[in-house]
């Protein structure tokens, strides 16, 4: 019997591991218009959340108090900066953990001590190459921006003021086995199928939850056209390939170039949309694809 999907679950945010918050500010605030939402310190890391125009959020993680817990410092040492995890909010973590186990997954890092924030994780070896965090939160946390958070914004080409803030639309996650990705993100985590399709050397499916942020799973197909995506995945079960955003005048973004037509995960984009790509080396290990608003 197929285990039931989790209910009332939402994809809350995507996390980007960086050496320091301020290293990413110029990209996300002046360039893309993200507003500060919250930030603080915890054991081993400091999280900071930035909110885009559609309400979707990215969380910047930097090491903190590494003598007590060095997990994030070790992640950065092994992998360099880049995508770290996806956080799904659930109304009842204990019930969610029962569903996780019934579906054949082994939750780790279960922490129920704080009634305001209970959490557990699915290891990337089981979660198609990305850390999945499940969290039960009592309140939606907010805090004032720290000193130095940029207030300047990218300006329109015609000089008529700043461009509007960008929207963060989806996480494009490349997987070696599309069925395994569907089992996790739709079968267990309850993502609703919004669209699906095929392209040269790839197949993809779009999943959405109640909330602004979606996930596209993209997998290589048989044949020579899938060679590049297969090589990029290597022996991994999956990797976050890019974040898709919509913004005004994306051609003026620092370090942005026209996206090659064979870039994975762009199937189904509006004809003539001319997406721009910001390579991982231009954004602390996390590729961005930006389509015109």
CA distance 5 to 1: 12
Q: What is the pLDDT along the chain (293 residues), one digit of tens a residue?
A: 466 678 899 999 999 999 999 999 999 999 999 999 999 999 999 999 999 999 999 999 999 999 999 999 999 999 999 999 999 999 999 999 999 999 999 999 999 999 999 999 999 999 999 999 999 999 888 999 999 999 999 999 999 999 999 999 999 999 999 999 999 999 999 999 999 999 889 999 999 999 999 999 999 998 888 999 999 999 999 999 999 999 999 999 999 999 998 899 998 765 457 899 999 999 999 999 999 98
CA distance 141 to 248: 29
CA nearest to 163, candidates 34, 13, 286, 23: 34
Is the separation of the CB atoms in 267 and 204 below 8 Å? yes
Is the separation of the CB atoms in 130 and 185 below 8 Å? no
CA distance 120 to 52: 26
Residue 75 pLDDT = 95
Residue 152 pLDDT = 96
SS3 category, 173? strand
Determine which helix (DSSP H) or strand (DSSP E) holds 25, and give its type and residue range: helix 21-26
Is the separation of the CB atoms in 103 and 3 below 8 Å? yes
Residue 196 pLDDT = 95
Residues 6+ apart with CB under 8 A from 290: 32, 166, 244, 245, 246, 247, 250, 253, 256, 275, 276, 277, 278
Residue 66 pLDDT = 94
Is the separation of the CB atoms in 246 and 269 below 8 Å? no
Q: How far is CA 239 from the centre of its chain?
A: 11
SS3 category, 226? helix
């Amino acid at each position: 019997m197929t285990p039931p999907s989790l209910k009332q679950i939402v994809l809350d945010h995507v996390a980007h591991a960086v050496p320091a918050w301020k290293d990413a500010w110029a990209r996300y605030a002046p360039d893309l218009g993200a507003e500060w939402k919250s930030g603080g310190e915890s054991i081993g890391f400091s999280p900071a959340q930035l909110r885009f125009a559609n309400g979707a959020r990215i969380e910047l993680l930097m090491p903190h108090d590494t003598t007590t817990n060095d997990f994030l410092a070790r992640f950065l040492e092994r992998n360099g900066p880049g995508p770290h995890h996806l956080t799904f909010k659930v109304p009842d973590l204990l019930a969610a953990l029962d569903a996780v186990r019934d579906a054949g997954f082994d939750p780790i890092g279960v922490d129920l001590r704080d009634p305001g924030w209970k959490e557990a994780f699915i290891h990337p070896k089981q979660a198609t190459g990305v850390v999945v965090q499940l969290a039960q939160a009592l309140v939606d946390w907010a805090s004032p921006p720290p000193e130095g958070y940029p207030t300047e914004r990218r300006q329109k080409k015609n000089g008529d003021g700043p461009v509007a803030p960008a929207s963060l639309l989806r996480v494009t996650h490349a997987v070696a086995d599309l069925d395994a990705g569907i089992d996790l993100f739709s079968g267990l985590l309850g993502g609703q199928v919004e669209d699906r399709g095929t392209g040269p050397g790839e197949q993809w499916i779009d999943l959405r939850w109640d909330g602004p942020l979606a996930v596209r799973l993209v997998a290589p197909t048989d044949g020579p056209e899938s060679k590049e995506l297969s090589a990029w995945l290597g022996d991994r079960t999956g990797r976050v390939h890019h974040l898709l955003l919509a913004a005004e005048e994306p051609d003026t973004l620092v370090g942005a170039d026209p996206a090659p037509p064979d870039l994975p995960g762009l199937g189904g984009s509006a004809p003539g949309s001319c997406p721009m790509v910001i390579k991982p080396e231009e954004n602390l290990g996390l590729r961005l694809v930006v389509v015109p608003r």
